[in-house]
Amino acid sequence: MSNLIKFKIDGVECMTERGKFIVEAALENGIFIPTLCNMPGVKPKGSCRICTVKINGRLMTSCTTPVADGMEVESNSTEINELRKSIVELLFVSGNHFCPACEKSGNCELQALGYLYQMMVPRYPYEFPLREVDADSPYIIKDQNRCILCKRCIKTIKDEQGRSLFAFRDRGHRLEVVLDKELAAEMTPELAELAMKNCPVGSILVKEKGFVEPIGKRKFDKTAIGSDVKL
């Protein structure tokens, strides 16, 4: 049996190796499916739900669903785009995201998706939650106002013994990502840098290093997120 399988995204014939997740396979075929919590090479968790697609009438996350032979995926449709826009809006209203004052502006994936889906004002009322900024660690700042709870830092930032520097606290609407005080005091500058890089928004910042790239030269300043995806 060949290891290559055929499938379709929005009617476009695609091909990939067996076992690949839809989101990766789409990329290989020049099709962009937006993600926030997903990172290439890291076990997916399907928590932001932004990569939701429709397969056989069911909503599935494309970062966690492997491609099957003959699968037909609906992604860039009115219904799915509307859903994705709703999710972006939900993330905006449930935190405090003030782009003009944010160090990550222009490099922020949430902001970029806001532009992609042409969000003007979220349809949901702002919650303006009271959130803290944790600046206890000598190297990094954890700003809870901006956290979208994607878990990328939890999954990727570990010390040499494999212990997580970040973890969830509480659950549901009170959920937060917190930083381990002791491990954070001993983290290397490289790990701090990686934590900032892996955060899709501006919730993790390396201290004294807010604005390295000038505005105008940042990742999504001139081109939309996903526009680099081509065959």
Partner 1 sequence: MKDTVKQIVEKYSKDKTRLMDILIETQEAFGFISSEAIEVMSVMLNMSKVDVEQTISFYHFFSTKPRGEYAIYLNDSAVAHMFGRQAVKEAFEKETGIRFGEVTPDGKIGLFNTACIGMNDQEPAAIINNKVFTRLTPYRVGEIIRCIRSGCKVDELINESYGDGKNQLPSLRAMVSSNIRRKGMILSDDYVYGTVTSEVLPKMSPEAVIAEIKHSHIRGRGGAGFPTGLKWEFCRRSKGEKHYVICNADEGEPGTFKDRVILTEKPELVFEGMAIAGYAIGGDEGILYLRYEYRYMKEYLEQVLDEMRNKNLLGKNIAGIEGFDFDIRIQFGAGAYVCGEESALLESLEGKRGEPRDKPPFPVEKGYLNQPTIINNVETFATAVRIVQNGGEWFTQFGTEDSTGTKILSISGDCMFPGVYEVNWGFNVNDMLNMVGAYDVQAVQVGGPSGTLIGPDEFNRTLGYSDLSTGGSMIVFGKQRNLLSDVVLNFMEFFIEESCGSCSTCRNMTQVMANKLKKILKGKGVVKDLEDLRSWSKVLQASRCGLGQTAGNPIISSLKNFRHLYEEFIQKEKDFDEGFDLVAAVQDSCKYVGRVPNFHHH
**Footprint of partner 1 (CB under 8 A):** 44-50, 52, 59, 61, 64-66, 83, 86-87, 90-91, 93-94, 123-125, 127, 148-149, 151, 159, 161-175, 178-183
* Nearest distance, CB of residue 45 and partner 1, angstroms: 7
Q: Of 62 and 107, which CB lies nearer to partner 1 in the complex structure?
A: 62
Angle, CA of 225, 189 and 210, to the nearest 5°: 50
Task: Write down the least CB distance from residue 93 to partner 1, Å.
Answer: 7
Check if the beta carbon of residue 50 is closer than 8 Å to that of residue 38: no
**H-only helix segments in the chain:** 22-28, 78-94, 109-116, 152-156, 181-185, 189-198
* Closest approach of partner 1 to the CB of residue 87, in Å: 6
**Bridge-based pairing state of the strands 4-9 and 72-74:** parallel
Task: Judge whether 171 and 180 are in contact, CB under 8 Å.
Answer: no
By C-beta, is 17 or 82 nearer to partner 1?
82
Complex with partner 1: residue 18 or 163, whichever CB lies closer: 163
Shortest Cβ 201–partner 1 spacing (Å):
13
CA-wise closest residue to 100 among 222, 200, 225, 211: 211
- Sequence letter at residue 115: Y
CB 54 within 8 A of CB 73: yes
C-beta closer to partner 1: residue 164 or 218: 164
Instruction: State which residue, 42 or 221, has the beta carbon closest to partner 1.
Output: 42
Which of 76, 63, 13, 1 is CA-nearest to residue 35? 63
CB of 175 vs partner 1, minimal distance in Å: 3
